[in-house]
Amino acid sequence: MTGIKTGIHRETRMTRFLTTTALALSMMGTAAMAEPVKVGMITTLSGGGASLGIDTRDGFMLAVEKAGNPDLEVHIEDDQRKPEVAVQLSDEMIQSEDVDVLTGIVWSNLAMAVVPGAVRQGKFYLSTNAAPSQLAGKGCHENYFSVSYQNDNLHEAAGQYATDEGFGRMFIMAPNYPAGQDSLSGFKRFYEGEVANEVYTQLGQTDYAAEIAQIRDSGADALFFFLPGGMGISFMKQWAEAGIDMPVVGPAFSFSQDILPAIGEAAVGVKNTAQWSKDIDNEANAAFVAAFEEKYDRLPSLYAAQGYDTARLLLSAMEKADVSDADAFREALRAAEFDSVRGDFAFGPNQHPVQDIYVREVISEEGQLTNKIVATAMEDRGDAYAEECSM
């Protein structure tokens, strides 16, 4: 019986959502253009890390289907998390399918392989996740928009949170690759206490016994770590087994909805920073979470939310301008007039978001692990590279 009840409940919310969208569509309908927009989505759908790409795609497509705009055409391809495959796919999409907009890449190294070339060929790129510092500073481009964040943001927010909490000595740890090095420097940018020790692990490392012993020995007040994907799952399980009583802070990547079930109870109580959470209280978010659960029968992750917002941004620009008029379309994107699931959303001068970043806590809710917002770490945060961007 409860199942049916929830179903009805969802349906009413769904209906409200649909009506809102339809209303919005009909209001803007007069200005709508007939020129179709072709989108090429390159994302990771096979191999390790596929869960991130799948959530990105599902979030994006949810918004596309809800909007029901016949002028939007999406081609989806799997990059296998290999930069050379991503380059080949972008070549194919640009040269033979003649797409207008590219999107979907999860990883910074793949983005670095694809984005500079694509935007120079006059295509728009809307980032659903990866936003490396090179593309935010000197390498910024008028056709490149990051809808997610700038890579450093969540780490900076964790640093700010550690400062606010009064953690005097922090142990900080990340894998030894560019995103890991950026992570620790992002954290230190806003952390005012003392760094007890700074450790780089190997990319893809699965056993953390040695690091955990070092952490225990360091006598730090708290631990900050950035270990995305399988690395984070391994670390958190081993951390829980070690039985160390020390607060843990990290960016959302190790605690997002796609991997929380795999970590299990070990994650409960951990603070993590994100620009989105499923309990952000606004109409767009409620509609998104309900529709996502309804359609895919699982809770949406951060990546799904980013995919969803990216599609909604694109749809909002399509309502206002014709993609063949690149300047007008760019202006329409820059205006970002859509109801973000994050609430307030605007682009900064380098076309990266200016947004609030929250601190979430992992909780167990109705037998499921999920995140709940407990504080706001930073308000209207842009990024550290915007002034280097001459646009």
Partner 1 sequence: MSAAEVTAMPEGRGGRMTRAQIVNAALALGLIGFGLGAWAMDETFLVTLATKVAILAIAGAGLNLVLGFGGLVSFGHAAYFGLGGYASGILAHHALNYTAMFEWPFVFEGTTSMPVIWLTAMAVGALAALVIGALSLRTTGVYFIMITLAFGQMIFYFAISWPAYGGEDGLPIYVRNGFPGLNTLDPVQFFGLVCVVLFAMLGLISMLARSRFGLALQAARQNRQRLMAVGIRPGGVLLVAFVISGAITALAGALYADLNRFVSPSMLSWHLSGELLVFLILGGTGRLFAPLAGAGLYIALEHLLGGVSDHWQFFFGLLLLGVVLFARGGVIGFLAGGKRHG
Partner 2 sequence: MSTILLIEQLLNGLQSGLMLFLMAAGLTLVFGVMGLINLAHGSLYMVGAFACAGVAAATGSFWLGLAASIAAAAAAGAIVEVAVIRRLYARDHLDQVLATFALILIFSEGTRWLYGSFPLYLNVPPSLSGSVTLPGGIQYSLFRLAIIGAGLAVAVGLFLLIGKTRIGVQVRAGEADREMIAALGVDIRRLYTLVFALGAALAGMAGALVGTIQSVQVGMGEPVLILAFVVIVIGGIGSIKGALVGALLVGLTDTMGRVLLPSIFGLFMETSAATSVGAALASMAIYILMALVLIVKPGGLFGARA
Provide the binding-site residues for partner 1, judged by CB under 8 A.
45-46, 77-78, 82-84, 87-88, 91-92, 95-96, 108-109, 112-113, 116-117, 120, 132, 134, 176-179, 181, 200, 202-203
Task: Verify binding: residue 293, partner 2, rule CB under 8 A.
Answer: no
Near partner 2 by CB under 8 A: residue from 198, 293, 294, 322: 198
- Per the DSSP assignment, residues forming a β-bridge with 78 are 43
C-beta closer to partner 2: residue 28 or 268: 268
388 binds, among partner 1, partner 2, none (CB under 5 to 8 A by kind): none
Write out the two tokens for 128: 């659903």
Angle between helices 302-320 and 326-335 (to 10 degrees): 130
C-beta closer to partner 2: residue 229 or 247: 229
Which residues, in sequence order, are CB contacts of 373 under 8 Å at separation 6+? 277, 279, 280, 358, 359, 360
**Closest CB 113 distance from partner 1, rounded Å:** 4
Cβ contact 344:351 at 8 Å? no
Query: Among 139-147, 153-161, 209-217, 381-389, which window interacts with partner 2 (CB under 8 A)?
Result: 209-217
CA 336 from centre of chain: 17
78 binds, among partner 2, partner 1, none (CB under 5 to 8 A by kind): partner 1
Write out the two tokens for 297: 């029968």
C-beta closer to partner 1: residue 110 or 341: 110
Task: Verify binding: residue 181, partner 2, rule CB under 8 A.
Answer: yes
Strand 248-251 and strand 72-78: the pairing is unpaired
Near partner 2 by CB under 8 A: residue from 176, 192, 365, 391: 176
**Closest CB 232 distance from partner 2, rounded Å:** 8
Near partner 2 by CB under 8 A: residue from 97, 192, 194, 207: 207
**Closest CB 26 distance from partner 2, rounded Å:** 38
C-beta closer to partner 2: residue 302 or 318: 302
Task: Verify binding: residue 76, partner 2, rule CB under 8 A.
Answer: no
Task: Verify binding: residue 243, partner 2, rule CB under 8 A.
Answer: yes
92 binds, among partner 1, partner 2, none (CB under 5 to 8 A by kind): partner 1
Task: Verify binding: residue 126, partner 2, rule CB under 8 A.
Answer: no
Near partner 2 by CB under 8 A: residue from 15, 26, 46, 368: 46
Write out the two tokens for 355: 């947004």
Residues 17-40 as b or e (16 or more Cβ within 10 Å = b): beeebeebeeeeeeeebeeebbbb
Task: Verify binding: residue 241, partner 2, rule CB under 8 A.
Answer: yes
Q: Is 340 helix (H, G, I), strand (E, B) or coil?
A: strand
Q: How far apart are CA 205 and CA 201, in angstroms?
A: 7
Write out the two tokens for 12: 């009413």
Hey, what amino acid is at 99?
A: V
Helices (H) and strands (E) in the chain, counts: 13, 13
Task: Verify binding: residue 95, partner 2, rule CB under 8 A.
Answer: no
DSSP string, 323-338: TTSHHHHHHHHHHT-S
Radius of gyration of the chain (CA): 21
Q: How far apart are CA 276 and CA 284, in angstroms?
A: 12
Number of residues that bind partner 2 (CB under 8 A): 45
